[in-house]
Amino acid sequence: MIIDFENELNEAQREAVTATEGPVLVIAGAGSGKTRTIVYRLAHLVNQGVDPAQILLLTFTRKAAQEMLARAETILGRPLHGTSGGTFHSFAYATLRRNATDIGFDSGFTLMDRADSENICKEVRDLLKLGKGDRSYPKKATLLDMITKSRNKELTIEAVMEREAYHLSPYLEDIQRIADGYAQFKREHALVDYDDLLFLLDELLAGNEPLRNQLQARYRYIMVDEYQDTNLVQARIVKHLAGTKGNVMAVGDDAQSIYAFRGANVANILEFPRIFEGAKVIRLEKNYRSVQPILDLTNEILKGATTKFDKHLYSDLKSDKLPQVVHPLSDQTQARLVVDQILELGRKHMLHDVAVLFRAGYQSFPLEVALTRIGIDYQKFGGIRFHEAAHVKDVLSYIRLILNPHDLLAWQRAMEHIKGVGPKTVAKIYQAMHSGDKKYMAKMVKKHEPLKELLTELDRLRSGPMKPSTILEAVLAFYQPILIEKYPDDYPKRQAGLEQLSQIAASYQDMEQFIGDLSLDGDPDEEKRKENAVVLSTVHSAKGLEWAAVIIIDLVEDRFPSRKAMQRAEDLEEERRLMYVACTRAKEELRLFVPGSVYNRASGMSDPTLPSPFVLELPDTVFERLNESYGGNLETRRRSVYTLPDPAVPLADGDKADDAAPARPKVAPSKLGFCRHKIFGKGKIVAQLEPNKYRVNFPGFGLKVIIGDYLELL
């Protein structure tokens, strides 16, 4: 049959589809028709006479593989019998089952699920008699997380802990012992977990040349989707199967590699041409999702990347509306302004086609409260909904008891952390309090010191001022040690959510209104997309999705990029890719929110912020700037680039700090490029200052004012 390449594919897609021999790397920019390209290549191979059984398609979800194979069958008009399509793990499982004796399992092996693995971690911990009586000891899920992250990233547990979970460092030696015991337990009982599937296949292929040759002969054509999301062991498996000159096509986008926390390694796709001899690199740059002004902005974001495949996204979709960069006075007014924007956008689009994106789940908490207050339905993806967070429920239980001492459910939650006080005992205490049984209460208070502390604190709070921020400040101080004890595995992350709760409280004067707004919430429906409900999502959960309008909030240093990412250059690079992913979700409208200050619970005041470096780098030609006035309205400002002073770096001789309002530099940044500094390395020039000074953004170091004599222009 004749496949209609001319009308169905653009020139770059046709090149990728017909490049069937040798290694090929397809750099598929966001919205560039990646799946269509893979599907047509499958159909083209079979149409050219390739036996379907000689094709191997590796994806990251079974659903993706099934969809691609089904679409290829539709193009061909006949079934694709024999094509192997599935995930890395399913392919590994099938291969290992056929060769179980070669990996030391003479009687076969059993594949465990997540729950099985967690239970074995607990059993090993108990066998080693670790953590007995220590209520702060890491839970079985956390133990397994540390073990699996260590394996997938191929780092020591100590290295993972230093980067991601420093608060668990007192348990480092124990976790290492449990990891060793976990591995031994699996060997002794012929058990295999999901990580083992990949590592055992890697070992098998590396050490068994006849099998490796057999598989290379069988799978003459290999295609790997989302190659930027592969980890080190998956990349080795691909190389074993393809050899260095095999017919392997890797499809992906280095600029969308955002899963380092799962073990994904962007170097796999960046180094593909070096690893596979004579690899052909094809770029898919025509975007079918977004209007050109949005792509102009995202192209600028990618310009600042230090290691990348150059690409320039373009579209036939035109618009005379630029993306907006909105500057609220603070993160407290940001929620109100975002709600206003959602209401405005809701007049043009269905609400489920409007999304608000953020770096971390807790950042949407003030917005969730604001939406609930005025009755706008929303659906949240990534992180947890504000009202479902266990630590938020804990804190609210104390406030509920201040307002209503008869709230039995709040008493149950408030006493949950007290050892030896279960639901039945709580009911007895509740009855004694409300019947005046002083003898029983005296007995329980004497027996349980934390109960005495709780009752004393509640009595003190009831007798003081009832301003929400004042009450909450006291409750959080009381709750802090409970938080650490009750949630030892991840209390630093939960703490960030409580900071947001403080910010919400600061805008209330009435305690009843505060608790009422926080308690109102609809039933969550995370599985099915809701009709006419605005989408709230972390950027990670938004990957692969699209909306007519996208709002991105909290684009300031320490929030996006995150504080942790500002400390390491490679982490900042991933944050840049996150920003690119976030912006490319928008089809028609994009709005970036940059609050001028953020609430600081310690001082009870707002601290000034620095805009995200990804916003600072944008030339004034790609966005429209809106500032919140002191009256609460948004005012359009003349196009202006950012030239904010850097408080961390002394100004050069004769240099005066810029005014608070950004000023236009002598040379437009769009005409400036990159430079190199002996200490800070490669950076992007944001602005030229008089007479011979430049403001430069160095990945990993932030904005610096540097005299031109010390810069090498690139």
- Residue stretches of the annotated binding site for ATP: 28-35
Quote the tokens at residue 343: 């209401």
**Contact assessment for residue 140 and residue 118, using Cβ atoms and an 8 Å cutoff:** yes
Type of residue numbered 421:
V
Burial of 470 (0-12, 13-18, 19+ CB in 10 A): middle
Closest listed residue to residue 615, CA positions, set 552, 682, 675: 552
Run of H or E including 688: strand 681-689
* Distance in angstroms (rounded) separating the CA atoms of residues 514 and 580: 37
Type of residue numbered 103:
I
Maximum Cα interatomic distance, the chain, rounded to a whole number of Å? 91
Run of H or E including 251: strand 247-252
* Distance in angstroms (rounded) separating the CA atoms of residues 627 and 328: 6
Phi, psi at 317, each rounded to 5°: -85, 115
Q: Which residues contact 308 (CB under 8 A, 6 or more apart)?
A: 254, 255, 270, 302
* Distance in angstroms (rounded) separating the CA atoms of residues 440 and 436: 9
| Residue written as token pair 């996006």 | 560
Quote the tokens at residue 337: 């302004």
* Distance in angstroms (rounded) separating the CA atoms of residues 19 and 280: 9
Q: Which residues are annotated as a binding site?
A: 28-35
What order do you get walking across the sheet with 624-628 strand by strand?
378-381, 534-538, 354-358, 547-552, 586-593, 324-327, 624-628, 634-636
Run of H or E including 354: strand 354-358
Virtual torsion, Cα 146, 150, 156, 160, nearest 10 deg? -60
* Distance in angstroms (rounded) separating the CA atoms of residues 20 and 222: 10
Strands in 88-161 per DSSP E: 110-111
Burial of 11 (0-12, 13-18, 19+ CB in 10 A): exposed
